[in-house]
Every structure is written in C-alpha cells, then in structure tokens.
Amino acid sequence: MKKIIFFLFISFVLLGCSNKIETVEKSFYYWKSDSWDFSEKENSILQTLEIRKLYVKFFEVDHDKNFGNFPISKSNLKLNKQGSFSEIIPTVYIKNEVFKETDKKGLDTLAANINFLIHKYEAKFSPFAVAKEFQMDCDWTLKTKDNYFYFLKKLKLISKKEISCTLRLYPYKYPEKMGIPPVDRATLMCYNLINPLENKSKNSILDLKELESYLNKKRKYPLHLDIALPTYSWMQVYQNNKFTTVIYKNQKEILPKLKKIKPLWYEVTEDHLAGDFYLRIGDKIKHEVLPPDQINQAIEVIKKNVVFDLQTTVTLFYLDEEQLSKYSDETLSGFYTNFSK
C-alpha cells in the first residue's frame, strides 16, 4: 500500500512538472505610439493567425527630479477596424528610475494614477474596454525590488484586476535572490539578453548561447508563466565609431546602400536620408535580425527547460507590418504551434 501511495505521489509530481502545453493562446504586443489603427496587412495577420489577445502599450512612466513621475509615449491607437481579437490587455512600461526615486506615499499615488489613466484610455478601445488584466513592464533590479513589489500589490488592491508583469531571465533564474513578484502571472521575456553597446559580436536581441546560460536546467517557477519572443529587427548606427541612433523603420530601403564587412556589421556606401536621420558614406551599422530557424531553436531551448502549465500565452513582440514582413504567415503560426508539439 505504501509503495502504491509513493508511486502515485511521484506520478503526480512528474505530471505537474510536465513541459507539454496543451493549449497555446496566441498573442502580440502592440508597442507603437504613432498609429491610429492597424494597417491592412496588420489586420490581415491578426485574422489569419486568429489572434484573440493583444498586449497594447497604453503609455510609459518616466521620472524627473523636478516633476516627479509622469506618463510619456502615449498610444494613439483607436481601433477603427475590428480584428479577430476579443481581449486587449493594457500594458504600461515603467522605467526602473521611478522605483529608485519614489517613496511609499509616492508609490500609492503612482498606483492610483496608473489605474486612472488606464481606465481613461480604455474608452478608445471599445468594444474591448473592460480588461480583466493589467500588465506592468519594468526592468526591476535588486535595489528597486521592494518598491516595485509594493507598487504591484497596491495596484492589485486599487484596480481589483488580475495583475501580470514581465519577467526577465535573470530574476527568473535567481528567484531566491530577486524575489517572486506579487502578481497573478508573469511573461518570461526571452530576448534583449545582451547589452547591445557592450558586446558588438553577438546578436543582442537573441543569442542562443546566452539564452541557454539562463535556461540551463529544468525549472518550475512559482508563478504561472507565459512566454514572449522577438520578431523585430533594428539597425544600430555608429558614426566615427560612436553609437549614434537605432533605426527600426525603412530598413529595406537602407539595405541596398550597405556592404557587409563582417558578421552583423555593414558599411554605408551611399548617403541616405533615413526618416529624419542622415546616413553618410562610411557610417557603420550593426544590423540585428532573427531568421526563423533561430527563433525555432530558441523555442526548443525554452520547451526543454521551462516547466509550463497546460495552457500558456505565447506573445510575439511586436505587431508591425514592416517588422513582420520577414516572416510568412505560416512561419509566424509555427512560432505559436511549436510550443505544443
């Protein structure tokens, strides 16, 4: 009898720690602040992939010593077109400096103000105005952990909503040091693993060896985990060997004016006006882009080492016609379905 009980216990533990996801909820981040509506192509992607959920950045929060905490980069999205989605998750990016400079009274005010602004902006997203979840995005550190966690608890109390947060790989790997955020669920951000200005030979968006250094063994995190993957690219511009700017838009127009000088690196061969920035002959560009096989290899690493619940949301960063033009609809669909294979 004891052997049977022990066997059932072991079976329960093993089943509870299964990496097999039965249901993948497909989602995108929408991170643009300058668009009033989806483009025709973006709307087509949403419908073709049957996206039901969008994490929309409503605004960001910055801190100034004179003015305190204040919202910036507010979304202009109004959703005149209706895609296939049925749920919008208000998402707020809060700079880590906010939690370095704000006391408990200020954090109470911050939670109240964010809750107020989210509800104010929700009116633009009718008929998806009533959100059941708010997501907070912050690169919190050991020094800001206590203030950030206090704020999350306060926001939960005030909003009476399900609260989720983003989770970088360092606090995921070291929860005993970094703590467990007091939220209902967390989205594990599997990108931006390397400081782009410190390591010039690696792809800072997603480097597989760097990913494996964090996901180096099978772990069960104390919270429900969702996953976010990158589908964006950028160009880091260096003039006179000094970093100058990052270009996200019109990369296809720029590429013919570049010659490759080494892996990831190009040299400008023709003067070109890129938006409001002028590229000059001789400028150096680090072009970081992710081919589909690299993203799929990252998915295999994640599946091998992260213990999931039976249902998990997979979110691609981010919904943008130009950024997603590198991938077919079938490829994008595979990024979701590969998690349940």
Could you tell me the CATH number of the domain that includes residue 332? 3.20.20.80
Arithmetic mean of pLDDT over the chain: 91
Where are the strands (E) in 144-289, listed by range?
A: 162-167, 185-189, 224-230, 234-239, 242-247, 258-262, 265-268, 272-274, 277-279, 284-288
218, 242: one domain: no
274, 296: one domain: no
147, 273: one domain: no
161, 274: one domain: no
Has residue 152 been placed in a domain? yes
282, 138: one domain: no
Dump pLDDT digits (tens) for 100-138.
Answer: 999 999 999 999 999 999 998 887 776 655 689 999 999
51, 111: one domain: yes
In the predicted model, is pLDDT for residue 336 greater than 80?
A: yes
> 76 pLDDT band (50/70/90 cuts)?
confident
CB-based burial, 130-157: b 16+ in 10 Å, e otherwise: ebebbbbbbbbeeebbebbbbbbbbbbe
276, 224: one domain: no
In the predicted model, is pLDDT for residue 18 greater than 80?
A: no
In the predicted model, is pLDDT for residue 323 greater than 90?
A: yes
Return the closest-CA partner of residue 165 out of 88, 69, 93. Answer: 93
Count structural domains, the chain: 2
Has residue 14 been placed in a domain? no
Percent helix, strand, coil in the chain (nearest 5)?
35, 30, 35
pLDDT at position 84, please?
Answer: 64
In whole angstroms, give the CA distance from residue 86 to residue 66.
41
In the predicted model, is pLDDT for residue 56 greater than 60?
A: yes
Q: Which of 246, 272, 288 is the last residue of a domain?
A: 288
pLDDT > 90 fraction of the chain, expressed in percent and rounded: 80
> 34 pLDDT band (50/70/90 cuts)?
confident
155, 261: one domain: no
Has residue 45 been placed in a domain? yes
pTM, full prediction: 0.92
166, 247: one domain: no
Has residue 15 been placed in a domain? no
166, 276: one domain: no
Has residue 212 been placed in a domain? yes
26, 121: one domain: yes
- Domain carrying residue 145: 20-232+290-340
